[in-house]
Structure 1
Amino acid sequence: MQQTTTETRQDALADPAFPTNTAKDEGGQQMLLNEIASFFLVTGSPLFLAFYQIAYQDFDASLEFAARSLMEEGPVLFFAERTPRPTASTIAVYLGYVGWQAMLYNFLPGPLHAAPRTVGGRRILYRLNGLAAWASTILVAAACSYLSLSDPTYIANNWGPLLATANVYSMALITISWLKARISPDLESETFLTGYFWYDLFNGGELHPRSGRLFDWKHFNASRTGGILTWSLIDLSFAALQYEKHGKLTASMALTVAFRLTITIEYFWYENWFFETLDGSYERFSFYSIYGFAAMMPHLWTLQTQYLALHPVELSTGQCLGLSMMFLAGWYMRHIVDHQKSSTRAANGDNKIWGETAKVLRVQYRTSDGKVHHSLLLCSGFWGWARHANYLGSSIYTWASCLACGTGHFFPYAEAVLMTIMVVHRCFRDEDRCRAKYACAWDEYCQAVKWRIVPFVF
């Protein structure tokens, strides 16, 4: 596993510009718009998840029938009567799972990794033990199922109450992080607050809140109790439910489980790459990060296996091969894109990509402590095709996973639609912050690499 050890930053996208905006830097009108948008995102996201779960549990995964019922009954009655609640069982299981993951995160051995420099000029250490934590969790779950100590379909059969429990947990963590950022932040220079309540709740707060030397709450939430590791348990449980309900495991279910397992294992194998992404390096530990990983990703990023447990889809050999090739093409592109960036960073630009010396643009930036640092913007390989080449690969393999569910319902396609919207939105956010960080050097880079995501299209 490659590790970043140099003091120099090299990135074309994954280290977005450090935030330079404060309430004083932005106009009052823009901040008001941010406040309004944040209000709707904070209040609307739980309702969106509740609607999706209600459609699944009460309307056989039909969004159309659920929407009709919502219009007929009215939102108050619709959500009040149908939204799932936590149970004593799911609360105990969920808190036990969080405690188990915290123990693994804190005590499993692994190499130390120095993450890219923060806005305050720090390089924070992380222990890379995610793959060991994932393997330990899967082995324990498999052993418990084999020994009849637990029901492999428990997650699937208690899906609504578990989601409700995850929502309560997320809201509690959001409240604690919001208060801590105002009362006792770890580092004030890296704490982003504007004075606008909803905007700060959604996107403000601390950058890397920690308990002790190595327990990083943002990384723990994103990779352990949040979406990444939990995906495997959820998918395997719904696969078990399909077998229990229909007496078989379809090729479409096997493909979707295998696709997400591939993404999960790769993530933990190259866990250090997370700290070079927008989520790992820039996003605050706020509603966006906490609720996004702990509530939305476990729910929406596993819609395919949820759907297939209710509606088995039979795929021909040709369809399986076609979808597998589509997934592998997207996954391979994303992997190579990340590897090109990481290897260029490790070699300080003295490496080859596709048989030629890597082309880089050497730039400077300043952190909040006043120090000037050097950086590289990669212009070779896939990064010579597009400034955000990593987004294209992830979009392709996401659509492949959704297409395995057929076209009978829109239900399993929410992940792909949200992913497409998200990468376009992130593209423009990245560009704004990189321009603020690198100034005219970013414009020079845009001249060298003209396309954002898809060459000759966008």
Structure 2
Amino acid sequence: MAKQSKTAGKSSSSKEQTVLNPRTTKFEFGGFPGALVLTLFLPVFTVLINKQLTPDAVFSTDPFYYLNPCRSKELWIPYLAWFAGLAVFDLILPGKSMFGTVLRDGTQLRYKINGISNSFLLILVLGMRWQITDGQMPELVFLYEHHIELNIITILFAFYLATYCYVRSFIYVNREPILALGGNSGNVVYDWFIGRELNPRVGCFDIKLFCELRPGMLLWLLINLSCLHHNFVVENNFSGVNDALVLINLLQGFYIFDGVLNEEGLLTMMDIATDGFGFMLAFGDLTFVPFTYSLQARFLSIQPNDLGPQRLALITALMALGYYIFHSSNKQKSDFKQGKLPQLKSIQTQRGTKLLCDSWWGMSQHINYFGDWLISLSWCLTTWFVTPLTYYYSIYFAVLLLHRQQRDEEKCSEKYGRDWVTYQKRVPYKIIPYVY
């Protein structure tokens, strides 16, 4: 009898887990073939576009050099120290505790939000190194000279990290972890690419949130600074600096610190709330962000472009407009969800929630995406029209935002049903008011 009761308990638990972690039936990026193509294409693309924009960059073409840490330890040791150091600081630096969104099992994960203390520490360290080295900053020189080689190291590290997270999603003690709805297909390559586990953690250390804002975003900042340092110190011996290179550092530096300082906003975003952590996010966070978002600075360090006062003002104004739309619309939605703006028009749904359709959110369904895209365009304009390659980012970002909008629309259509149809009639434009 005891044996039968135990078996019945297992059967009941199995049914609960099937409901909690249903099999993935809808595939993105064309399923397995698309995931395989992107896994092979995107890493090669990041290396080739950086090589194209900086033809004088030197790097080894022997893949076994990078795969063997003993041979390439001068690259692996600094990067691992960077990643591990940031992880330690993320754990020990002070910050506030916040809960994430409610998960499918009714629980909420606790997150430590300490972007302010992390940012302050980085600025302090950079300032001290500038003083100690009399502006020579050997770390920035190393980063600049080994730019493409470090690009390759981050690709391999993203591969290893994604593999670790995939394997550990099958290893558990008490109960199966919550899996991403999109990464539980049973196909090894596809699930590894999309991400099988929703929130992989080592103790209280959340791998996904950490990778979203720390090693990649801050490395992007350092790459930009290395380009500025190369132009100001190495090329001009402290005697002059290119205005376009200064501007891209200021614009992107502001954007990076704004993102890190407002990291709590990530807790409700798609990357954290619904996507698993696989190669797609690992590569995107650790490689794609630092080594393609910095293309404008990298190009300008090789081919300086003097913009002049009028162009500087135009680009700055475009960035300011984009940021204003992005920031104010996001704040408005956040305030509305907290009940601070009851006067705004909304649609009461059968689920008991409200769909905001007034002010910024009466102009388009994703007006914040439009602001974010204007920001991306302002960055590309710092290279003016010298080369079309630096405009890849704005084009890529437009495609990314369109993909996210379509994913969100599909999810909301299933979630709200007829209420979503009513909402679309009230707010017909998807991203750009009166255009799309």
Tell me, in whole angstroms, the C-alpha distance in 1 between the residues paired with 2:195 and 2:142.
Answer: 36
* Residue 180 of structure 2 corresponds to residue 202 of structure 1: no
**Displacement after TM superposition at 1:31 (Å):** 8.0
Tell me, in whole angstroms, the C-alpha distance in 1 between the residues paired with 2:405 and 2:396.
Answer: 14
Q: Which amino acid aligns with 1:131?
A: I
Tell me, in whole angstroms, the C-alpha distance in 2 between the residues paired with 1:314 and 1:410.
Answer: 17
Listed one character per residue, the Cα deviations across residues 13-54 of structure 1 (whole Å, up to 9, x for unaligned) are: xxxxxx99955644xxx6894121111111111111121233
Q: 1:244 aligns with which of 218, 233, 248?
A: 233
Tell me, in whole angstroms, the C-alpha distance in 1 between the residues paired with 2:407 and 2:432.
Answer: 17
**Displacement after TM superposition at 1:81 (Å):** 6.0
Distance 1:55 1:379, change over 3 A: same
Distance 1:364 1:131, change over 3 A: farther
Q: 1:188 aligns with which of 177, 180, 185?
A: 177
Q: Which amino acid aligns with 2:187?
A: Y
* Residue 378 of structure 2 corresponds to residue 400 of structure 1: yes
* SS of equivalent to 1:126: strand
Distance 1:150 1:54, change over 3 A: closer
**Displacement after TM superposition at 1:376 (Å):** 2.8
Listed one character per residue, the Cα deviations across residues 247-304 of structure 1 (whole Å, up to 9, x for unaligned) are: 1221111111111111122212322111122212121111111111011111111111
* Residue 248 of structure 2 corresponds to residue 260 of structure 1: no
* Residue 314 of structure 2 corresponds to residue 325 of structure 1: no
Tell me, in whole angstroms, the C-alpha distance in 1 between the residues paired with 2:24 and 2:256.
Answer: 41
* Residue 350 of structure 2 corresponds to residue 359 of structure 1: no
Listed one character per residue, the Cα deviations across residues 301-339 of structure 1 (whole Å, up to 9, x for unaligned) are: 111111111010001211110111001000111000110
Matching of residues 437-448 of structure 1 within 5 Å: 437-448=415-426
The residue aligned with 2:209 is 219
The residue aligned with 2:13 is none
Distance 1:402 1:60, change over 3 A: farther
**Displacement after TM superposition at 1:59 (Å):** 6.1
Tell me, in whole angstroms, the C-alpha distance in 2 between the residues paired with 1:31 and 1:446.
Answer: 24
* Residue 74 of structure 2 corresponds to residue 89 of structure 1: yes
Q: 1:50 aligns with which of 39, 47, 57?
A: 47
For this pair of structures, how many residues does the alignment match? 405
Distance 1:325 1:359, change over 3 A: same
Q: Which amino acid aligns with 1:311?
A: Q
Listed one character per residue, the Cα deviations across residues 115-168 of structure 1 (whole Å, up to 9, x for unaligned) are: 222343332221110121122123213312321274432211121221122112
Structure 1: 5+ residue runs without aligned partners?
Answer: 1-18, 62-77, 366-373
Does structure 1 conserve the Cα–Cα contact (< 8 Å) formed by 2:100 and 2:267?
Answer: yes
The residue aligned with 1:452 is 430
Does structure 2 conserve the Cα–Cα contact (< 8 Å) formed by 1:386 and 1:455?
Answer: yes
Question: TM-score normalized by structure 2?
Answer: 0.86
Listed one character per residue, the Cα deviations across residues 56-105 of structure 1 (whole Å, up to 9, x for unaligned) are: 343689xxxxxxxxxxxxxxxx9956999473222111111111101111
Q: Which amino acid aligns with 1:445?
A: Y
**Displacement after TM superposition at 1:450 (Å):** 1.1
Q: Which amino acid aligns with 1:411?
A: L
Does structure 1 conserve the Cα–Cα contact (< 8 Å) formed by 2:25 and 2:185?
Answer: no
Tell me, in whole angstroms, the C-alpha distance in 2 between the residues paired with 1:31 and 1:394.
Answer: 23
Matching of residues 289-368 of structure 1 within 5 Å: 289-347=281-339, 350-351=340-341, 357-363=343-349
Q: 1:110 aligns with which of 82, 86, 95?
A: 95
* SS of equivalent to 1:452: coil
**Displacement after TM superposition at 1:233 (Å):** 1.4
* SS of equivalent to 1:330: helix
Q: Which amino acid aligns with 2:157?
A: Y
Residue identity (%): 22
The residue aligned with 1:67 is none
* SS of equivalent to 1:113: strand
Higher alpha-carbon deviation: 289-298 or 43-52: 43-52
Q: CA RMSD of the aligned region, Å? A: 2.6
Does structure 1 conserve the Cα–Cα contact (< 8 Å) formed by 2:54 and 2:298?
Answer: no
Does structure 2 conserve the Cα–Cα contact (< 8 Å) formed by 1:84 and 1:161?
Answer: no
* Residue 225 of structure 2 corresponds to residue 233 of structure 1: no
Work out which of the two has the higher radius of gyration on C-alpha atoms and give 1 or 2: 2
* Residue 280 of structure 2 corresponds to residue 288 of structure 1: yes
Q: 1:101 aligns with which of 83, 86, 89?
A: 86
The residue aligned with 1:278 is 270
* SS of equivalent to 1:422: helix
Structure 2: 5+ residue runs without aligned partners?
Answer: 1-18
The residue aligned with 2:164 is 176
Tell me, in whole angstroms, the C-alpha distance in 1 between the residues paired with 2:381 and 2:406.
Answer: 27
Distance 1:205 1:379, change over 3 A: same
The residue aligned with 2:132 is 147
